[in-house]
Structure 1
């Protein structure tokens, strides 16, 4: 593998990471509503999901997604349902009859809930698997070293995410002090929840 190919993949990976998408929205949502710890925990979940997809692509499992329309659609529908469930649940909690008094207003869980959301959102997003399957072969050399180089490329992509997303979480943490008023938090929760539902509907409607 040439250095030009390695740098070429790095540029593509960085551009893919910094382009606003589901991972960005998920990390920011948890950081703004639950604090930096929740945001970073969500980032760890996102990275774990990408790691699973990257590993699967190296051993060839995600080839099933590109070869089988049924397999792709099953994962796509499950992912869409999960996103809609996340958003709908958050919206339900903002309804007047379901609101907690200001004294009982609590943050989003910073532990298992944020991590699970990050992992499941990526595992149930077939686009992540297709991303690896369509991109890696273009930069991998032929021969017995292909798997080792594939692992390196996946590591580069994960590292880019671990550098960029925590930066966004930190920036969100700086702005969070301005978003602590209950009314502002309520509307922020509604907006981000609506985006989740919208992304789920979009994923479900895609061919």
Structure 2
């Protein structure tokens, strides 16, 4: 496939699955939302975070990520924007009154799409993800073939791996969250813990080095 050897693809998929499972801002965000807001909200956020990988794939393929890596000011601007957005999500969770239906937000039917947008934005404006794709994907490229096409294929496979992992986390955390929210007062504290988690992730991103 586009010059990618089957053995290399298997190694790549195994590595991608491991990286998607390893604790990070995306899967921790999915986990906390599943516990506090329900499965639909977590699934939406998971879909958005995984879909954001396609954006970083395109950046890596056209070399824009290299520009970010070479420009301290661009990296600083992006990571501060990402930290600010995580703080915004934290403020929404901290201000919540814990009034969540078992399907997610109030009115559950529309809980999915808003969190898709939040997941995409949280992933896209994280410069660490852009630099990761720039460093990780080329390791599996066969130099005898079109590098850009191979990077696009690898990025798509990484997105599929992340989607499977994140949606699994959304499903199980949502089930646990539904059970917990049946206990009086638990929903409010879950929202508070979610807010604190996003604050921690924002601080981690703001302090990140290239």
TM normalised by structure 1 equals 0.87
User: 1:39, 1:110 within 8 Å by CA — same for their partners in 2?
Assistant: no
1:193 paired residue among 192, 195, 206:
195
> By how many angstroms is 1:132 displaced?
0.7
Q: How far 1:33 sits from its partner (Å)? A: 2.8
Q: Is the 8 A contact 2:78 2:127 kept in 1?
A: yes
User: Do 1:45 and 1:119's aligned partners in 2 also have CA atoms closer than 8 Å?
Assistant: yes
How much has 1:77 moved relative to structure 2? 0.7
- Aligned position for 2:126: 125
Whether 1:205 aligns to 2:195 is no
The answer for unaligned runs of 5 or more in structure 2 is none
**CA contact 1:85–1:197 (8 Å) conserved in 2:** no
Measure how far apart 1:39 and its partner are. Answer: 1.7
Question: For residue 72 of structure 2, what is the aligned residue in structure 1?
Answer: 69
Residue of 31, 40, 44 corresponding to 1:41: 44
Distance in 2 between the 1:11 and 1:168 partners? 18
TM-score normalised according to structure 2 size: 0.86
Separation in 1, partners of 2:151, 2:81:
28
CA contact (8 A) 1:79 1:121 kept: yes
- CA positional deviation for 1:165: 1.3
| Equivalent residue in structure 2 for 1:57, among 57, 60, 68 | 60
Q: Distance in 2 between matches of 1:29 and 1:117?
A: 14
Offset at residue 197 of structure 1 (A): 0.5
* Structure 1 match to 2:81: 78
| 1:177 paired residue number | 178
Whether the aligned pair in 2 keeps the contact of 1:84 and 1:198 (CA below 8 Å) is no
1:62 aligned counterpart, secondary structure: helix
Q: Distance in 1 between matches of 2:92 and 2:38?
A: 20
Contact 2:79–2:125, Cα closer than 8 Å, also in 1: yes
Gaps of 5+ in 1: 94-98
| Post-superposition offset of 1:191 | 0.9
1:158 pairs with 2:159: yes
Shift of 1:143: 4.2
Quick one: structure 1 residues 162 and 105, their matched pair in 2 at CA, closer, same or farther if it must change by over 3 Å?
closer
Q: How many residues in Structure 1 have an aligned counterpart in Structure 2?
A: 199
- Aligned equivalents of 2:208, 2:153: Cα separation in 1: 31
Q: Partner of 2:150 in structure 1?
A: 149
Task: For 1:111 and 1:169, locate their aligned partners in 2 and report how far apart those are by CA, in whole Å.
Answer: 12
Query: What SS is found at the alignment partner of 1:141?
Result: coil
